[in-house]
Amino acid sequence: MVKEIEKEERKGYITGALNLSREKIEGAIDAYKRGNYGQVLSSLYYGYFHLVKALLYQQGFDPKSHEGVYSMLNLHFIKAGTLDKKYSRLFEQLHKAREIADYNPLAPKYDKGDASGYIQTFSDVVPGIIKIIRNYDQYSTPVSRSVEELKRLSGQ
């Protein structure tokens, strides 16, 4: 299900999503410093999830599930040619990694190399989304700074 957001409500939704994205990326930074690489992946997923939601809010869409966010990303940005398929692939990969890290006690633990690989891809795609989210520099710039800090920390 997708709720439509009225034009006058969008700013609040977008700024809230960008703030949540930044908070989750900062959580990934903290987890990386502690060596909790599964938590890094989980935080990256949520940072990306909220960033994609900001993108969808800008278009007036408020999907109510993770699958809805993924479907709307594909429908309105990938298939339309605005974004490359790598944006959708990262969503899928981070979602799967998060589920393994958060819910599967028998899965092998993620290590620094795993986290660094995801951080590299994450830091490569985030600027493309931020570029599309116009007129929110006050909120998107801190997201970009957090991504850069994470990238530096991981040696990428």
| pLDDT value for 2 | 79
Rounded distance, CA 112 to CA 3, Å?
39
| pLDDT value for 91 | 98
Rounded distance, CA 152 to CA 149, Å?
5
Spans of all domains in the chain:
2-153
| pLDDT value for 56 | 97
pLDDT tens string, the chain, 156 residues long: the values are: 678 899 899 999 999 999 999 999 999 999 999 999 999 999 999 999 999 999 999 999 999 999 999 999 999 999 999 999 999 999 999 999 999 999 998 888 999 999 999 999 999 999 999 999 988 999 999 999 999 999 999 987
Q: Where are the beta strands (DSSP E) in 58-116?
A: 61-63
**Helix 66-73 and helix 37-58, axial crossing angle in degrees, nearest 10:** 60
Q: Which CATH class is domain 2-153?
A: mainly alpha
Which of these, 76, 70, 116, lies nearest to 96 by C-alpha position?
A: 70
